[in-house]
Copies of this chain bind each other. A is one copy, B any other.
Amino acid sequence: MTDPMPTAREMEFLLHDWLRVADLASREAYAHADRETIGQTLDLARALAADRFWPHFAKADAEEPRVGNGRVRLVPEAADAIAAFRDAGFFGMSFAAEDGGLALPWVVTQAVCTLFSAANQATFAYPFLTIAAANLLKVFGTDAQKRLYMQPMIEGRFFGTMCLSEPHAGSSLADIRTRAVPAGDGTYRLKGTKMWISGGEHELAPNIVHLVLARIEGAPAGVKGISLFAVPRYRLDADGNPGEANGVTLAGLNHKMGYRGTVNTLLNFGEDADCIGTLVGEEHRGLFAMFHMMNEARLGVGLSAAAQACAGYRISLDYARERTQGRPVDAKDPAAPPVPIIAHADVRRMLLAQKAYAEGGLALGLWLARLIDEQKTAEDRAERARLTGLLDLLTPVMKAWTSHYGLEANFWAIQILGGAGYTRDFPVEQLYRDNRLNPIHEGTNGIQAIDLLGRKLGLRDGADWRELGKLVRATAKRAEGGGLADLGAALAAAMDTADRVAVTLAKRGAAQGAGAMLANAWDFLRLAGHTVIAWVWLEQALVARASMDESAGGATYLQGKIAAARWFFAHELPFVEAWAAMLAAGDAPHLDIPDDGF
């Protein structure tokens, strides 16, 4: 079967032709990340994804994690795949050489992640979480935490988790109850129960370091009284090796619809034995620190959703080229041989819709990753603030838009395969089940919509939104001379509409309160998301158009890019006006009825 990762040509186009990531080598931190190094890294990642992750994609689902003798058992292929990932140095791919990392630009590491996500997100989740935890410790950890926990994570020896939710507190972190009591020696004793912990217990590594939100006794109520702690599964001995157990016990596994290869746990801290943790960052500022990991995870969720959408696209494209069925609507001679279903208009529509959603989300995700590189290495303070603002603004869009439409892409992948797509003989049904998690975790899409409209839009007096508008309009303007003037005009009009709606909603909020402003927040997120995705498609189309003029080779691939852009503009962008009209009207019948009217 076809391997499901975005093709090498696709990565080449996004990373080099469009994002020119090799230019980052001019910055000291990435000095050695030339095009050849990047190419070798992606080649190696692609080979590992194809040979070690993809082959057990279905098996890790069919044989989901189980508890045996108090231990969580995964399919053995998962450990093999992760060992190969570790041997390639990929746990440390984004870390500086001084930390033992490969010092690759973030955008390159995210392209690498995309390949593994497409091949087997459930197995890839273990390294993904570990890298995110190490990144958090890099920023907020003490020297000791870096040495004892971060370093082994970068080497792939210890794994990491994020422990936020509790059984009674999922989305509402303000209500967590896990307590941390100072032990007098600088450490804390933790006590409480954490829910939905991915990778919370397994035998893939000799230790797991949990990053746990808890309240220090006497802390203020709400999110301003939450602190963050590093809590190893096994305490470390004098040499930093895992020793005795640290009072973290497995209370149960969650059995999910998909994403099954990633064990999801209910954990008790300090129930039967002392559970020792150390403070990460400042007291009561735990959510601030955790959001460093969370924002990374939100962008990662979006990128993973796009990767899984790409996977469904590639598999259904392959099927559409091979499977014969029926005849063109204009040529119904029953004696004629049947045609490959890619000949049918509606199949082509389902393919191009998938391409538009999947590669649109992928492009936005990689563009944002490049922004992170620019932000990290920016020397000018104002420039850094500008980039931070764009990232703040677009993180909820990337998370929610891409997880919503990435799943829609997988819907169409199944539809192309028909009855076959509905069986477990083909991977598209699993992709659809796996990808269904992405609109939920790391902040539901409803919460992302509130974050965008209720918080991000107004930050810095709307400067980030205006900055986005500037970028979008600059692209629209370039399109005038790039042979895509019609798309440029449509994009500029959509951005004008989005601006107008943003002003209307801000005024509504000022006059009637947050409740009135946020009544239809999800529509605003979709409106903003469609505008942004149209923008990245126009960017891609402009590059494709220019490349066609430059070279004769590979023109069909570039035609496909322009067609996907045109499809998105013709078949999706018009919804922006519909959402704008709805938001301007402000109808909210869901708020107008009593609870028992439902």
Which residues of A come within 8 Å of B, CB atoms? 165, 168-172, 174-175, 195-196, 221-224, 254-258, 317, 321, 324-330, 332, 334-335, 338, 342, 344-352, 355, 407, 411, 414-415, 418-419, 421-425, 429, 432-433, 436-437, 439-441, 444-446, 449-450, 454, 513-515, 518-523, 556-557, 559-560, 563-564, 566-567, 570-571, 574-575, 577-578, 581-582, 585, 587-598
Copies in the complex: 2
B221 touches A334 (CB 8 A): yes
B578 touches A574 (CB 8 A): yes
B597 touches A560 (CB 8 A): yes
Bound: A514/B581 CA distance, A: 34
Can you list 21 A-B pairs with a CB-CB distance of less than 8 A?
A168-B324, A169-B325, A170-B419, A171-B325, A172-B327, A175-B325, A175-B334, A254-B419, A256-B422, A256-B424, A321-B595, A330-B513, A330-B514, A345-B519, A345-B591, A407-B411, A415-B446, A560-B597, A567-B587, A570-B589, A574-B582
**Chain B residue contacts of A321, Cβ below 8 A:** 595
Contact of A582 among B221, B317, B571, B590 (CB under 8 A): B571
Contact of A594 among B334, B345, B556, B578 (CB under 8 A): B556
B574 touches A450 (CB 8 A): no
Bound: A415/B595 CA distance, A: 19
B578 touches A515 (CB 8 A): no
Bound: A557/B429 CA distance, A: 38
Name A's interface SS. Answer: helix
B346 touches A522 (CB 8 A): yes
**Chain B residue contacts of A258, Cβ below 8 A:** 422
B257 touches A596 (CB 8 A): no
B515 touches A329 (CB 8 A): yes
**Chain B residue contacts of A564, Cβ below 8 A:** 589
Closest to A259 in B: B422
Taking A329-B450, A346-B518, A559-B593 as known contacts, 13 extra A-B pairs with beta carbons closer than 8 A to each other, sorted by chain A number, are A256-B424, A256-B429, A257-B432, A257-B433, A345-B515, A345-B518, A346-B521, A346-B522, A407-B411, A520-B571, A556-B593, A566-B589, A577-B578
**Chain B residue contacts of A559, Cβ below 8 A:** 593-594, 597
Contact of A560 among B441, B514, B571, B593 (CB under 8 A): B593
Bound: A195/B422 CA distance, A: 14
Bound: A587/B214 CA distance, A: 55
With contacts A165-B419, A330-B515, A419-B440 taken as known, whether A589 is within 8 angstroms of B567 at the C-beta atoms is: yes
**Chain B residue contacts of A515, Cβ below 8 A:** 328-330, 345
Closest to A560 in B: B597
**Chain B residue contacts of A345, Cβ below 8 A:** 515, 518-519, 521, 588, 590-591
Bound: A317/B221 CA distance, A: 30
**Chain B residue contacts of A418, Cβ below 8 A:** 170-171, 440, 444
Contact of A597 among B421, B521, B556, B588 (CB under 8 A): B556
